[in-house]
Structures are given as structure tokens and as C-alpha cells.
Chains A and B, each alone.
Chain A
Amino acid sequence: MSRTSTSGAQVEVFSFSAPVTFGIPLIAIFLQAWLPLRLSWFSVLDLPLLVTIFFAMARRNPITGLLTGTFIGLFQDALTHQALGVYGIAKTVVGYGASSLGIRIDSENPGARMLLTLVFYVVHKSVYFLIAAGLVGQSLRWDWLHEISSAVANAIFGVLLYSLLDRFKRRI
């Protein structure tokens, strides 16, 4: 088992097999596109974002984290009719942030995971809003109540999802 040393704290670094690395983000994007048609409440959740946060926190490498975010975000952009890069930029920032924080704090703890997901959901939405409204010129509406309740829902669902995805982790 290899460990990385940061500020005196010992944190584990994990890796994933190639099928998991590519398959899970693909399944997350597929479910995000398919399930809301059958279960409308599902659109509150952002599975690609949760997967980005999970991989970034587990790998604890900022470059890998931001690249994971970039690819997942761009792939998600490609399914919409909007310009490519809005989700890409937002998830790049989240991937970088989650992996940087993953080095410093114990991201295996469910409480920490919930808090991190909640924070990164709001960060993701804020960056998306800034880029889409400021750069692309989309008309968007920011509703704090909706965003906070969505963040809580994602945080709770995220903790459950992460414990499921933990099974695919491989210690380096």
C-alpha cells in the first residue's frame, strides 16, 4: 500500500481499472439523460458531478481530477444543444478542487463527503451560471431555495453512491 504524505497527514491514494474509469462516467451520463424521462424528480440529481467528485477525491491528484472533470463535462455538453465547454469548465474546476481537498482532509468519512458534495454542488452551479450567463449569453434564473435543496439532495445521494463506488477502488 502506498501512501502520500501531505502536511504530516497520511492519506491513501486509489486507482481504478480502465473499464471502471470509462464505464462509470458513461453510465452516469447515460442515466442522467435517460432516467428523467421516466422519473422526473431524478433531474434534481447530477450524477456526472457526483462521479467527478468521487473520482477526484479518490485519486487525490489535481491534474487527474481536473482532466476527469473536463472529459465528463465536455461529454455532458455534447448531449445538449448548447455550446461545448459550459459543463466542461464547471466540472474542471470541481475536479481540481475536489482532488486538492482530497489530499488535505479525510474524504472517506461520510460526513466530510456530504459536506464536500454540498459545497462542490454550489461551486459547480455558480461556475456554470457565470459561464452560461456571462460568456454564452444564456438567460438563466438563480433560485437559492432550489439550489440549496438540490445541493442537499445530491449530498445525501452522493454519500450512498460513493459507498457503492468504493467497491471499485484499488489501493496503489
Chain B
Amino acid sequence: METVLGRYRNLIVLVGILFAQVVGLAVQVKRTTETESSLLIRVWAVHAVTPLEKGLGWVQTSSSSLWRNYLYLRGVRAENRDLKQQLEQLHIEQARLKQDADQAQRLQSLLAFRQQYISETLAAQVIGSSGSDQSHSVYIDKGAHDGLKPDMAVITLDGVVGKVLRVFPYTSLVLLIDDPSSGVGVILDKARLQGVLRGTPAGEITVERVMADEQVPVGEKVLTSGGDQIFVKGLPVGTVTQVKPGAELFLSIHVRPAANLNKLEEVLVVTRKVEKQAEPGDAGPVRASDILALRLPSVPLKDAPNAGDVSAEKSPSDSGKKPIPPAKSQPSPENPPR
């Protein structure tokens, strides 16, 4: 007996270790995620790796910030001029959009429509990844001490990134939307079709549960629908790149994410959402033409063919659908609105 044990000792240890891990796996697969998150080995692993990641991240950010902000300022003047021009254009666009938003808000108030809004976000730095191709997740430098909780939405200015999956004292694990185990309730912007956004093993993202007889054009914007109770409605998710027949009478809609998930540096965690009902008072009687009149008091009517349309002197009914002229000057205290 001793000879047999001695002879096959290595193999017996191998089988024993493998058996223990298989049993451990089987137990975990049956458990919920919340129970799993408290495993000590995860805490140790995260505590061993993330301080290094944070430290190196800090060094990298500091050195690149020093370079960008103090040493490499070539072309900043020209860029600043371009940005000012863009800002002027955006002011006009904002005025037009505000009119549309006000109108929508008035309609919503009439329908007693309740909607969630993002009321508080927390900026966080991406410090590391899971280190596995099969696990599309990243670590951020904010955790329970900063008020983070599981299932909080994580976004960038470009679009949706994912959700907080596990929270450690000073770091958190964020599950990206391109992971096969993630799921986001989405709506196609123009077609108004709802579906579920999921990652594929190949690292792509697709919209599922859209019937095969629906028409979905390539280039259609994909937004969050708010149905998953994690992301508020209307956040940009991506753009449809390919539509083909999928399994079981559903379409397979491939989406290019709005946020660059491969080059994440800074993200925003939505720490607070509020649900409010639009009130008639919110919309107010302000029209786009009034806002433009305030912002562009010095635009001469005769120089711009359509300028008269947006002037406060014109009747409100005329101003609604006319094109808005480009801005000629910044609003200033010396040019009071008429």
C-alpha cells in the first residue's frame, strides 16, 4: 500500500487538488454573486494588485499632465480660437434644442410622465483590468469609502461603459457592456424598438430580442431604455454597424460602442438618480427666438437673410421652423438685449 502511494504520490496530489477546485467551482456556480464577493482570496488579490496599479497610474497621470499643461503648449492658441468658434455654434444649437426640450417637457407634464435623471456623479480613474480576455471588466480607484455601491451605472462623456459589480474599500470592479454576462436595456433611437444589449465571446456587442421582421438601418443610434433600472433613459450606447438574421426569429444587431471601451482612462459613476415628474412651470414661456435675442443682440437683420426670423421683434409663430443663422459675435454687457 505504501509503495503504491509513494509511486503515485504526484498523481494523487494532482487529482486531489483538481477535485477540490472542481468542487469549489460547482459550489460557486450555485451561489449568488453577492455571496461570492466576500471571498477572502478576492480581497487579498485586489489589495495586492490595486495599490501598485494606483501608484503607477498616479505617476503616469502626473507626468503626462506636467507634459501637457506646462511643457507642450504648441498650437494651444489656434486650438483655443477654434474652440471659441465651436462654442458659439453650440450656443445657437443649444437654444434650438432647449425649445424642443421645453416642448417635450410640456407634453410630458400633460401626460404625468415620470422620468429618472442623473443628479450626482463621481469621477474615477481606471487603474487596471481583470487581466483576462474572457472577463471584460476594469478596476477603478473609487470604492465603498467614496459611496460606491454595486449596480451603479458607469459612463463617460461619450456613452455607457458598464456597471459597478463588486465594491472593495478603495477600489471597485466595473463590468463592461461588452462582457457576455452583462445586459443593458436599450432602445433604437428612430425605430423606437427595444432590446437587450449583450457582449459576445468575440468581444463585440449586439442587441438581442428585436424581431426579424423589423427594419433596423445601419447607422441607427442605440440609447439606454431605462428598463434595467441601472441606466437612466436616453444615454448613448452606440451605433448600429451590422444587421443580420439571428437565432429564433430575432435579429442580430451589431453595435459599435459610443465609449471607447479599449482605451478607458476616466469614467463617471452615477451615484445618485432622481425621479421627477415634469412640471408645466419647468418649461416656461421662453422661446428659442427669445434666447437667441438675448445671446445675439448685435446680429444685424439685413446682413443675415434669415436673421429677422429669430429676432425677438418677430412674432413667435414665425420663428419656430426657420433656420438659425450662425453667430457673429459673443453676447456682451455692452450690447443689451432688445
Partner of B132, one of A66, A67, A87: A87
Query: In the complex the two chains form, is B129's CB within 8 Å of A37's CB?
Result: yes
* B window 154-196: CB within 8 A of A: 165-166, 173, 175, 179-181
B137 interface residue, CB < 8 Å from A? yes
A26 to B47, CA, bound (A): 12
Decide yes or no whether B13 CB sits under 8 A from chain A: yes
> B130: which of A79, A85, A86, A128 is its contact (CB, 8 Å)?
A79
The closest CB in chain A to the CB of B24 belongs to A85
Does B10 reach chain A (CB closer than 8 Å)? yes
User: Which residues of chain A have C-beta atoms less than 8 A from B13's C-beta?
Assistant: 62-63, 66
| The one of A38, A70, A100, A138 that contacts B21, using a Cβ cutoff of 8 Å | A70
Task: Report the minimal beta-carbon distance from B56 to chain A, rounded to whole angstroms.
Answer: 7
Asked if B114 is at the interface (CB within 8 A of a chain A CB), the reply is no
Set of chain A residues within 8 Å of B180, measured between Cβ atoms: 138-139
Of chain A, the residue at the smallest CB distance from B49 is: A30
* In the complex with contacts A29-B131, A66-B13, A79-B45, A84-B39 CB distance below 8 A: yes
A127 CB to closest chain B CB, in angstroms?
A: 10
Of residues A48, A63, A74, A81, which shows the largest number of chain B Cβ atoms within 10 Å of its Cβ? A81
In the assembled complex, the Cα of A138 lies from the Cα of B182 at a distance in Å of: 12
Q: Quote the shortest CB–CB distance from A100 to chain B (angstroms).
A: 7
Docked CA distance A74–B28 (Å) = 14
The answer, yes or no, to whether A140 is at the interface (CB within 8 Å) is yes
Q: How far is the CA of A8 from the CA of B21 in the complex (A)?
A: 36
> Chain B 230-268 against A: per-residue CB contact (8 Å), 1 yes, 0 no?
000000000000000000000000000000001110000
Contact B132 A37 (CB under 8 A): no
- A33 sits at the interface (CB 8 A): yes
Q: Report whether B10 and A63 are in contact in the complex, using a CB–CB cutoff of 8 Å.
A: yes
* Residues in A whose Cβ lies below 8 Å from that of B137: 80-81
Contact A30 B129 (CB under 8 A): no
Instruction: Select which of B26, B126, B135, B200 is within 8 A of A80 by beta carbon.
Output: B135
Cα A122 to Cα B134 in complex, Å, equals 16
Residues of B within 8 A of A85 (CB): 21-22, 24-25, 28
Per the bound structure, the CA–CA distance linking A66 and B44 in Å amounts to 21
A-B contact count (CB 8 A): 139
Q: Which of B25-47 contact A (CB under 8 A)?
A: 25-26, 28-29, 36, 39, 41-42, 44-46
**Which of A89-97, A109-117, A162-170 forms part of the interface with chain B?**
A89-97
Interface assignment of B316: CB less than 8 Å from any CB of chain A: no
Give every chain B residue within 8 A of A33 (Cβ-Cβ): 49, 53, 128-131, 139
Tell which of A66, A78, A86, A96 touches B46, judged by Cβ atoms closer than 8 Å.
A78
Residue of A nearest to B27 (CB): A83
Q: Which residue of B lies closest to A143 (CB)?
A: B202
**Shortest CB distance B111–A (Å):** 40
Q: Chain B residues near A137 (CB, 8 Å)?
A: 29
CB of A172 to closest CB in B, whole Å: 19
Which of the four size classes fits the interface of chain B? 35 or more
Q: Which chain A residue shows the least CB distance to B39?
A: A84
Contacts of A36 in B (CB 8 A): 129, 131
Contacts of B129 in A (CB 8 A): 33-34, 36-37
**A116–B20 Cα gap in the complex (Å)?**
27
> Which are the 4 A-B pairs with shortest beta-carbon distances?
A78-B45, A80-B135, A33-B131, A32-B131
Known: A33-B139, A63-B9, A75-B48. 15 other contacts (CB 8 A): A29-B131, A34-B127, A37-B126, A37-B264, A66-B10, A66-B17, A70-B21, A79-B131, A80-B134, A82-B132, A83-B28, A84-B28, A92-B14, A93-B14, A136-B25
Q: CB within 8 Å of B: which residues of A?
A: 26, 29-30, 32-34, 36-38, 40, 43, 48, 62-63, 66-67, 70, 74-76, 78-89, 92-93, 96, 100, 128, 131-132, 135-141
B residues lining the A interface (CB < 8 Å)? 9-10, 13-14, 17-18, 21-22, 24-26, 28-29, 36, 39, 41-42, 44-46, 48-49, 52-53, 56, 60, 126-135, 137-139, 165-166, 173, 175, 179-181, 200-202, 262-264
Question: What would 14 A/B residue contacts be, using CB atoms closer than 8 Å?
Answer: A33-B128, A34-B127, A34-B128, A37-B129, A37-B138, A43-B133, A74-B41, A78-B42, A79-B132, A84-B25, A87-B132, A92-B21, A96-B10, A136-B25
